[in-house]
Amino acid sequence: MYKKRLLWCWLAYLAIQMGITGCATTETPRKRLVTRDDPTVAIVNGRAIKQSELLKVLLPVKGRKVLDELVLLEVVRQQAAEKGISAAAVEIQAEFDRILRELAPDKTRREQTALFKYMLEKRNLSQAEFDIIVERQYLLGRLVDPNVTITDKMYADEYERQYGRKVIVRQLVTASFRSILEVRQKLDAGADFARLVEQYSQDQRTLARGGVLGPFSRADEHIPEPVRQAAFELNTPGGRTKPFRFYDDGNKEWWCLLQFEKDFPADAATPAEVRNELTRIIRRRVLNQRMSDLQKKLKQQATVTILEHKLKEGG
Checking if the pLDDT of 86 tops 80, the result is yes
Say if residues 73 and 136 touch (Cβ distance below 8 Å).
yes
What is the arithmetic mean of pLDDT over 135-156? 96
Checking if the pLDDT of 5 tops 70, the result is no
- 157 part of a folded domain: no
Residue range of the domain that includes 177: 165-264
Checking if the pLDDT of 2 tops 50, the result is no
Q: Residue 147: its pLDDT value, please? A: 96
Q: Residue 260: its pLDDT value, please? A: 97
In this structure, the answer to whether residues 201 and 301 fall within a common structural domain is no
Say if residues 238 and 232 touch (Cβ distance below 8 Å).
no
- 280 part of a folded domain: yes
Give the end-to-end CA distance of the chain in Å, rounded to a whole number.
41
Checking if the pLDDT of 225 tops 90, the result is yes
How much of the chain exceeds pLDDT 90, in percent?
Answer: 63
- 159 part of a folded domain: no
In this structure, the answer to whether residues 24 and 132 fall within a common structural domain is yes
Q: Residue 14: its pLDDT value, please? A: 52
Total domain count, the chain: 2
Quick one: which H or E segment has residue 140?
Answer: helix 127-143
Average pLDDT, the chain: 86
- 160 part of a folded domain: no
Q: Which of 230, 248, 264 is the last residue of a domain?
A: 264
- 125 part of a folded domain: yes
Can you tell me the distance from the alpha carbon of 27 to that of 9, in angstroms, rounded to the nearest whole number? Answer: 36
- 158 part of a folded domain: no
Say if residues 230 and 213 touch (Cβ distance below 8 Å).
no
CATH classification at residue 246: 3.10.50.40
Residue 288, Cβ density class (10 Å: 0-12 exposed, 13-18 middle, ≥19 buried) = buried
Q: Residue 190: its pLDDT value, please? A: 95
Q: Residue 178: its pLDDT value, please? A: 95
What is the arithmetic mean of pLDDT over 247-266? 94
In this structure, the answer to whether residues 145 and 197 fall within a common structural domain is no
Please report, for residues 24, 99, 174, 205, 222, the alpha-carbon distance to residue 169 in angstroms, rounded to integers and kept in the order given.
37, 31, 16, 14, 15
Q: Residue 22: its pLDDT value, please? A: 46
In this structure, the answer to whether residues 195 and 274 fall within a common structural domain is no
Backbone phi, psi, residue 68, to 5°: -60, -40
In this structure, the answer to whether residues 99 and 229 fall within a common structural domain is no
Quick one: which H or E segment has residue 41?
Answer: strand 40-44
- Within 10 angstroms of residue 67's Cβ, the number of other Cβ atoms is 21
Checking if the pLDDT of 255 tops 50, the result is yes
In this structure, the answer to whether residues 77 and 220 fall within a common structural domain is no
Pairing of strands 304-305, 212-217: unpaired
Q: Residue 144: its pLDDT value, please? A: 97
Q: Which of 264, 286, 305 is the last residue of a domain?
A: 264
Residue with more model confidence, 169 or 250: 169
In this structure, the answer to whether residues 138 and 235 fall within a common structural domain is no
In this structure, the answer to whether residues 9 and 78 fall within a common structural domain is yes
Q: Given pLDDT bands bounded at 50, 70 and 90, which one contains residue 9?
A: low
In this structure, the answer to whether residues 84 and 198 fall within a common structural domain is no
Checking if the pLDDT of 119 tops 70, the result is yes
In this structure, the answer to whether residues 133 and 34 fall within a common structural domain is yes
- 202 part of a folded domain: yes
Checking if the pLDDT of 3 tops 90, the result is no
Residue with more model confidence, 99 or 144: 144
Q: Residue 102: its pLDDT value, please? A: 83
What is the arithmetic mean of pLDDT over 213-217? 94
Can you tell me the distance from the alpha carbon of 231 to that of 310, in angstroms, rounded to the nearest whole number? Answer: 45
Please report, for residues 3, 18, 29, 44, 288, the alpha-carbon distance to residue 14 in angstroms, rounded to integers and kept in the order given.
16, 6, 34, 39, 10
* Structure letter (DSSP) for residue 262: E
In this structure, the answer to whether residues 223 and 145 fall within a common structural domain is no
Q: Is the dihedral of CA 248, 250, 253, 254 positive or negative?
A: negative
Q: Residue 56: its pLDDT value, please? A: 85
Q: What is the pLDDT of residues 226-240, one digit of tens each?
A: 999 999 999 999 999
- 296 part of a folded domain: yes
Q: What is the CA radius of gyration of the chain?
A: 24
Q: pTM (2 decimals)?
A: 0.71
What is the arithmetic mean of pLDDT over 140-169? 95
